[in-house]
Amino acid sequence: MSLELDAIRSRFPALSLEDGGVPRIYLDNPGGTQVPDSVVEGMAGYLVERNANLGGVFRTSQDSDAMVAEAREAMADFLNAPSANEIVFGQNMTSLTLHVSRSIGRHFEAGDEVILSRMDHDGNVYPWLAMARDFGLEVRWLPFDTETFEFDLEELEKRLSKRTRLVCLGAASNLLGTINDVKSAARMAHEVGAWLYVDAVQAAPHTVMDVQDIDCDFLVCSAYKFFGPHQGILWGKREVLERLEPYRVRPAPSELPDSFESGTQSHEGMAGTAAAVDYFAWIGETLAREHQAAHRAFEGRRRNVRAALDLIFASEQDLSRRLIDGLRQVPGLRVLGITADEGMARRVPTVSFTVEGVAPAFLEESLARRNIFVWSGYYYALEPAIALGIAESGGALRVGPVHYNSEAEIDAFLGALDATVRRSNRA
């Protein structure tokens, strides 16, 4: 399933940049993606024409109010939220989670239980460990299988009890690439009366995140991972948010969702986030028409975003397959994630691996010399790195194509990697 790649790539000014005549190959996308022209224009346009604080009667302030309302609508469409008033903006996923965890913790009683995952980024782990410490809660850990790189939801079942109040789970792992069945987790959590907090940071650039379909209670994501600016977004179910006491200063608005937004926000970030959602809608409308029929129940931007992500995910599965097949030819290389051909739909294209006898940081550096951008380490996925035994040994190398990457870029990366590994094996 292929995308019209030229049409896509021409939207991203950064993709045609070169350094000393050498093109850049961006495979660092799980750490942050490049942005389309309209995101740059949306942010610049806001700063030039509408820049002001909120709530005034003058032109720029009123335009800013309208822009914030539109950004909430855009995110509500992106996540299929029932209401734009459930969209909370913040600096990033981690800050939003630390912030709302204060309010969530106050809602529980000492001895209540929280289930955390060994697969998650620390942004969906440590805020809850701190909450558990501060409010006297018990933590139960959900392990993943280090051979299959997936959860067995029976393990979740075993850990749920009538004292479970919260389950925190990533929709996709930023180290393994595994997509998790958050919908089943929500059903299971709700059976014991617990809430589900979903970290969708790594899933949102690749697959549809529908909060009503998942039926989670909270979902967090970051626009800079889905072709937008550095901006965090939290969605919370209205009746759940209404039960929480927001941590806010006294003169700040007391109504949802502003009550959970502390201080003046990044208005330009919100403008850019709305433009990123519209970029998906543009794909849906112009390049993904054949995917629209599956989403007839939705209209306008909601339908277009879903069609776009269906097309993106289908084409990314081909990229994952090509990447993983190539990696498996490299001597001594171990992929830390799903590799089976039929497993490509259970993962995002974020692929981490180790190579026997070659340090991940060395590989990162030698690829950087060829203008190929990848990450080494464990990328704040501390628990998975410990579970896999790589936390103390330099972690892994992570390669993460997204829909704008070409097969030629994957092949160039594979060629450079293979040459580097063979050279260092000879040395």
Ligand X SMILES: Cc1ncc(COP(=O)(O)O)c(C=O)c1O
Report the nearest approach of ligand X to the CB of residue 291 (Å).
26
Q: Does 123 bind ligand X (CB under 6 A)?
A: yes
Q: Does 222 bind ligand X (CB under 6 A)?
A: yes
Q: Which stretch binds ligand X (CB under 6 A): 89-97, 267-275, 341-349, 362-370?
A: 89-97
Sign of torsion, CA 106 108 110 113? negative
Q: Does 121 bind ligand X (CB under 6 A)?
A: yes
Q: Does 202 bind ligand X (CB under 6 A)?
A: yes
Q: Does 92 bind ligand X (CB under 6 A)?
A: yes
Minimum CB distance to ligand X smaller for 120 or for 285: 120
Instruction: Work out the burial of residue 397: count CB atoms within 10 Å of its CB; fewer than 13 is exposed, 13-18 middle, 19 or more buried.
Output: buried
3-state secondary structure 189-232: HHHCCCEEEEECCCCCCCCCCCHHHHCCCEEEEEHHHCCCCCCE
Residue whose token pair is 């998942």: 214
Report the nearest approach of ligand X to the CB of residue 29 (Å).
11
Minimum CB distance to ligand X smaller for 227 or for 282: 227
- Strand 113-117 versus strand 164-170 pairing type: parallel
DSSP letter string, 57-91 = SSHHHHHHHHHHHHHHHHHHHHHT-S-GGGEEEES
Minimum CB distance to ligand X smaller for 222 or for 315: 222
Q: Which stretch binds ligand X (CB under 6 A): 121-129, 176-184, 237-245, 413-421?
A: 121-129
Q: Which stretch binds ligand X (CB under 6 A): 107-115, 157-165, 199-207, 398-406?
A: 199-207
Left if phi > 0, otherwise alpha if psi is -120 to 50, otherwise beta: which for 302? alpha
Report the nearest approach of ligand X to the CB of residue 424 (Å).
28
Q: Does 170 bind ligand X (CB under 6 A)?
A: yes
- Strand 195-199 versus strand 164-170 pairing type: parallel
Minimum CB distance to ligand X smaller for 29 or for 366: 29
Q: Does 178 bind ligand X (CB under 6 A)?
A: no
Minimum CB distance to ligand X smaller for 284 or for 395: 395
Per the CB < 8 A criterion, the answer to whether 414 and 326 are in contact is yes
Q: Does 206 bind ligand X (CB under 6 A)?
A: no
The one-letter amino acid code at 140 reads: R
Q: Which of residues 283-342 bind ligand X (CB under 6 A)?
A: none
Q: Does 232 bind ligand X (CB under 6 A)?
A: yes
Residue whose C-alpha is closest to residue 241's, from 259, 224, 253, 228: 259
Report the C-alpha gap between 353 and 246 in whole angstroms.
Answer: 41
Among 28, 199, 261, 278, binds ligand X (CB under 6 A): 199
Six token digits for residue 370 = 């060829």
**Binding interface with ligand X (CB under 6 A):** 92-94, 121, 123-124, 170, 174, 199, 201-202, 222, 232
